[in-house]
Structure 1
Amino acid sequence: MNEAKTFNIAAIQMISTPHVEENIATARRLVAEAVQQGAQLVLLPEYWPIMGRHDSDKVAIAEAVGKGPIQHFMAGLAKEHKIYLIGGTLPLISPEAGKVLNATLVYGPDGEQVSHYDKIHLFNFTKGEESYDEARTISYGKDVTTFDAPCGKVGLSVCYDLRFPELYRAMGNCSLIVMPAAFTYTTGQAHWEILLRARAIENQCYVLAAAQGGKHPNGRRTWGHSMLIDPWGEIKAVLPEGEGVISGAIDPEFMRSVRESLPALRHRKL
């Protein structure tokens, strides 16, 4: 791709249920909507295939790498629409008994898997009646992961990773950072936007965030606010709540102008 050309991207916002088939149908519909809007790369949210009534529900549907209906669906969808599909996260079988890997799988326009990232930082939060501890059912990922797309290098991260800026520095020079998430309403209201904008500003790249956004059948409420942020930290698109699509474009010329006018990436000392 000529670097002067823009590259169209989109994020899907969902309110996933405990039923995989329902969530697959929703993802199929919303990805098709994103493609109609011109998207060449589409990002699904964290936990898009299942938001179970119990933490153990995702363990029960975990797939082996390269096998299973969720992965088959994502590969077929990417090929059908000839897009890069970043599959939010799905549960993959972990070497640790009773646990899964919270995995982001990326498929190319030919339907082949091009990247795989396992969430490194696992969420733990307690405030009043709210309590979460992902490490009870999820194994820690280990590897910083990027892949090359027509828009440049894409950095993969998930939800709680957003709070750890050293992860993004370790990715190197990215054109796009993606953030599939299921931020709680409490933490999202307080920190979601400011952290996303900070990651875009300090890395002088685009940030695309796909969130869960509403009240789920399991009683959990997620913050939503899927958004696209440019390298200057400006929000280009946002969807506060509910199912839907946000879309926009990566403009390499604009990113280059930001980096030339304020060469912070070249000024790093550590």
Structure 2
Amino acid sequence: MRDLNITVVQSKIFWEDIESNLSDFDKKIDSIMEKTDLIVLPEMFTTGFSMNAKKLAREMGDASVEWLKNKSCSKWVDITGSMIIKEGGKYFNRLLWAKPDGTLLYYDKKHLFRMTGEEKVYREGNNNLTVELNGWKIRPFICYDLRFPCWTRNFNKAYDVAVFVANWPEARSYHWETLLLARAIENQCYVIGVNRVGKDGNGYNHIGNSSIIDPAGNIMFRKQNEECIYTSTLSYSILEEYRKSFPAWMDADRAVARKNCTVV
């Protein structure tokens, strides 16, 4: 199986300003010259982490969603990140995954951050998503999901890469760094964490620390306190050899295996 190129976009986010954010990310994505298979944007990249869903939510056919699909098609690359979505009269912190052929997949955030009242505004998701890309299996999560190892458990090598998109504040940056490492080590997979930088509309500062970590817990990339776009190559042979030489995955507790996992 060939290696996988993943590009992380660590960016500031204009507070509750969808048009400015789409324009900014449009330029950032167009600036990517390296060969890549997947571009990862932060959580709520069109608004920042806002509870103002009534004003900011967009439906699945909205122009901002179409922008993501069109960008994927024009660059001929998978692109993912989360937005505020309204569907069936409910609001979701929804990760959208656009593929170049026009396919749009999604994952609704499972763990809602009660310290800001997210669970009072948004509806939680109940299903994992696993996306196949060039033979690799990738499972996306959103921010607070990172704290819950049962939900992110990689049972029987169900996925090769875990992707966490976030608006994780500076005050708990040590948790972000530590938990990303833990998820890579315990699940014997690559972990991609993409966070924002800058101060949001509630006064919380974000320092990024977007990271790429290999299955043994080695940090391949980490950047703090500045906008950046970085492309890394993930080696399938390294992943396969590590799982073979240290097959801890074979002894995982079966009690945490989940049946509500969709593979597409």
Q: TM exceeds 0.5?
A: yes
Residue equivalent to 1:128 = none
Any idea what SS the aligned residue of 2:212 has?
Answer: strand
Residue equivalent to 1:124 = 114
Q: 1:110 aligns with which of 94, 101, 110?
A: 101
Structure 1 vs Structure 2 CA RMSD: 1.7
Q: TM-score, normalised by structure 1?
A: 0.88
User: 1:141-180 counterparts in 2 under 5 A?
Assistant: 141-169=125-153, 173-180=158-165
Amino acid at match of 2:72: A
Contact 2:207 2:226 (C-alpha < 8 Å) held by counterparts: no
In the alignment, does 2:37 pair up with 1:40? yes
String of CA shifts for 1:152-176, please: whole Å, max 9, x gaps: 1110100000011111226652111
CA distance in 1, matches of 2:140, 2:200: 25
Any idea what SS the aligned residue of 2:205 has?
Answer: coil
Contact 1:154 1:177 (C-alpha < 8 Å) held by counterparts: yes
Residue equivalent to 2:261 = none
CA distance in 2, matches of 1:204, 1:170: 8
Cα distance change on mapping 1:197 and 1:151 into 2, 3 Å: farther
User: 1:83-98 counterparts in 2 under 5 A?
Assistant: 83-86=77-80, 88-95=81-88
% identical aligned pairs: 27
Residue equivalent to 1:129 = none
Q: 2:124 aligns with which of 122, 128, 140?
A: 140
In the alignment, does 2:73 pair up with 1:79? yes
Q: 1:229 aligns with which of 183, 202, 213?
A: 213
CA distance in 2, matches of 1:51, 1:161: 17
Residue equivalent to 1:64 = 59
Amino acid at match of 1:122: L
Unaligned runs of 5+ in 2: 255-264
Residue equivalent to 2:168 = 183
CA distance in 1, matches of 2:204, 2:87: 25
Contact 2:48 2:167 (C-alpha < 8 Å) held by counterparts: no
Residue equivalent to 1:6 = 3
Any idea what SS the aligned residue of 2:208 has?
Answer: coil
Q: TM-score, normalised by structure 2?
A: 0.89
| 1:100 shift after superposition | 1.5
Amino acid at match of 1:43: V
Cα distance change on mapping 1:75 and 1:253 into 2, 3 Å: same
Residue equivalent to 1:50 = 47
CA distance in 1, matches of 2:58, 2:145: 23
| 1:269 shift after superposition | 4.0
String of CA shifts for 1:185-237, please: whole Å, max 9, x gaps: 1122x301110011111111111111111223542212311111111111111
Contact 1:151 1:250 (C-alpha < 8 Å) held by counterparts: no
Contact 1:237 1:247 (C-alpha < 8 Å) held by counterparts: no
CA distance in 1, matches of 2:48, 2:240: 39
CA distance in 2, matches of 1:8, 1:243: 20
Cα distance change on mapping 1:241 and 1:111 into 2, 3 Å: farther
Contact 2:154 2:187 (C-alpha < 8 Å) held by counterparts: no
| 1:107 shift after superposition | 1.0
Amino acid at match of 2:9: I
String of CA shifts for 1:123-181, please: whole Å, max 9, x gaps: 123xxxxxx22113211111111111114111010000001111122665211111000
